[in-house]
Structure 1
Amino acid sequence: MHRVIIVEDEFIVRYGIRSMIDWEKIGLDLIGEAANGREALDIIEAGMPDILITDIKMPVMDGIELIAEVRRISPDIKIIILSNLEDFQYAKEAIKHGVSEYLIKSDMMPRDFEQALLKIKESLDAVRNSTSDQTLSFRSEPAHKESFLLGLLERGSGKINDEEQILGKFGLSHFHPAYLLHISLNTSELGYAERQSLIRNNLEQEGLPHSRIYEVFPDRQGEINVLFSVSESEGDAGSAEIEVLRHQADQLIHRVFEQSGLCATIGISGRIREWSEVKNAYDQAVNAVKQKLFLGSGRVIVHGSDALRISAPPMGAISISSLQVQSMVYAFQSKELTEYIEHLFEQLAARRDAELVQIISLELLMILMTLWPDVSKDAQQVLELKKRYFEELSRLETLEQSRMWFIQAFDALVQHMIEIYKGDRSSIIKATQYIQQYYHQEISLQSISSLVHLSKNYFANLFKKEVGESFLEYLTRIRIEKAKTLLTGELKAGEVGGLVGIQDPKYFSKVFKKITGLSPSEYRILVREIHK
């Protein structure tokens, strides 16, 4: 069974995570819990887990530090981040270290959590025989050979001289010059075993010529990798080999599509001359595949090709103004919002950074998921919408698809707000009437929005749109207007402030002067002189 550790500083949350899953039933072994990253590392020292479930914000050592340290210790551990919406800025740092799943605590249901765990377990099961198994058995069965090759992808072969006996047992003593092909399928419906079977069957039939295939083996994500041997010569002969390989890979893509309707993208590494170069070649091929974001899927992408070369990327960071996006949504500025998103994706296209695209996409998604609860009273509908968002985004392969998806998603939100706008305008009228009657009482944004059954953020934006000034500006203006009437009598300024809901005399005088240009005393004198 695969081993799991939970890291969360709040006991009640740890208890909830532990209790919502029947760990043994789904084939996982919960080996420990920790309240912070430091405690988690102590547990990891006692026994390396396969899956790490961690919060982001924790005392002593937070989730970001923990993930960075775990990645230094082992690149193999699968990581699930648990976070709150407001912690997303921290989560962005963790994403850079590579995580398997990102789950939001407030939206996490037992079934969703279990599905995320099962997805990771399936990935681990696909390559269950770890490289350490090879020290116990030198049999040349395909599973053991694949496991050994997987180890080369992940840890490299710095100690390859110590592994000559294993290479010999697997018939790999002499390395033929080769290229590594990384084959990625655009599907989340097929399991790892089904995806591998589909690719292997096509390779064995009329995909790449079998006589030139050196080895075929999956990585931990279940994607197939192929070592394709070439001639010993380099130079022009090597360039010709790449063109032949590109042609054969393109044929494989077409065959997979004709047979299954699935779109495959194939990344090809640089030339490999010895086993010690396999890990670097794998990184090259994987990074080439990631460029499908910018070049399009269903194609062959060769490391170092002209298609991957870009001019000097623009300087400066790409950032999203959440407040600006929210303001445009609340103002129903669909055109301006579309232009904002298009400009954002133009910058991403110029950068050609797949990791940055993931981070920006998640940040836009967080904004959507924050705004929808503000404008919908159906909590279940919002929850289902959030799930659908994650599912749809996971299926997008190119930057253009992502751009169109976000434009449509934000436009759908704006259209929904326009539809409910007329009905909610009466709520603003009700709020202004309440303020005019009860201005002398304590009235907060939270209390007044609850009174009219609207979310705080939505109410604040709708109020300003309808009234022309913010809730606080309106409340303060009403109070000062009432105070001006009271100052015509004999009450002291401090007493007048208390009667209109501003209890602090100094603050009352400050606000009064800011709005009228006069202090309460000066205003009283002026009024009396006028009426003499």
Structure 2
Amino acid sequence: MKMVIVDDEMLVRAGIKSAIKWEKEGYTIVGEAEDGFSALKVIEETKPDIVLLDVNMPGMNGIDLIKLLREKEISCSIIILSCHEEFEFVKDALKNGARDYLLKHKADPDHILQIVNDAKNSLLNDRRKKGNIEKLQKNAEIGKYYLKNKFLIQLLKGEKLEAWEIEKKVKELNIKISEKNLSCIVFQVDNLDNVKKRYDTDDNDLLQFSIINITTELLSQSKECEFLLYDDNMYIIITSNSNEVSRKNIHDKNIMIINRIYDALQHYLNIYTSFGIGECKAADYSNIALAFSKAKSSLGLKFINFHQHIFSQLDLCNQNDLVNTHEILKKFEIDIQQNIKEKEFVTVVTKIDELVKWIKSIRYNDYYKIILIFEKIIECIAKECNINFTEYTSLTGKCNNIDELRNIVVDAINKINMPEENEVVSNYVVREAITFIKQNYNKDIGLELIAEHIGYSESYLSRVFNKEMNMSILNYLNTVRINKAKELLMDYKLKNYEIADKVGFNTAIHFNIVFKKITGKTPTEYRNNFGNGKVCEGD
């Protein structure tokens, strides 16, 4: 406990200081003063718990100082020091908030210590009570916060609530949104698993906590707005616009909110986020569920267009076209599976690229349907080629976008196309062709030259190679060349056109086309993703 002694008589101050071993009793005398003005300065600087205060001093007396401390809301326990004839001052001091008093001429060490200890115990008790009250208030606030979130989640899920029940909870929980022009903004952190790797295991909640704090602060001035965490990586903002009639103005306002949050999270947390917007005209709290559904559907477009960060219901595929859309998807699926059965894997990759391009063009956002189609393609490859592709099907659900999904299928096809180094090829003609390709891939060779070298006709070589390797001989040649190119791309000193020449391509353009078809990435993209991060000039 910190203590200050204020008295205009130096001997009184010295006597109180020396009468008791204060440190042993748990007190520290942090200052002393001889008048009210200097006492105020000492008290403001040291913030004592207890002040022994002379009631009658020149300049500012003790009563005036007590009043001034109360005005300044400086909290400390005051014990008045007085003489017998100053008792009227004492009563006035007690009336203004002093804790107790000591008569100077009767004060012995034990009595002084008893009065000070009583003040300390009373002070501690007051602080405990205050702490309990604050704890109760905090718990009440937390309870109200969770009740509010629970109610908002009920509205978001479209749970059936009576109108009177909604009205009652809106008032009780101080819900700030009205029923007019409701909007729902849903956002999530991009590549959350990679972002979490920046944090220790014990600090995984820190990211979520920081996002909530920053977003709450940015929305604090919005009069018609509620914000909540819906699940591990889904944050929801619900807004209303009681005084706005223009749909464009409402949409522009939502975009402004999004951009402020996007910029702040990118600036302070170095994370990127994606946002989906759902808007409703109808004036009814039940439409929150509809706005939420639209916002989630809008955000689903991130899977097919990962370069954007804002998506709205205006970007969605026309619901009237869905029947036709499902028919086209089914046809793609059937055609690709037929190509797989015929071992036409180059055509399979081409068809998959066409499928991806078409899905993007119509803004189709059924994530689970897209995943299912690609998993069926992988399963068909596994069945027709008698290979276990469990490792690939387990990756499909972890894809962040449709391009990653496409690359998983292409990698699976490449695994078929390229046998392991130690894999035995039974057909002698095919073994000879493979040996020649591996020794001469960097030269201008093709089916005609390979057939001539091993002494068989082009048609015969093509037929037996397809049967043995489940792929055409030219596709195998290109795969060997691209695998070698991948190694050379790790050397950032080499330019793309130099690598193209080293692996047997006549032009860098042809090299880029084949590389993208086999790997799903351009040579430069592959180098940036898997190399040392340095991009060679002149690519």
Task: Output the TM-score relative to the length of structure 1.
Answer: 0.45
Task: Output the TM-score relative to the length of structure 2.
Answer: 0.44
Higher Cα radius of gyration: 2
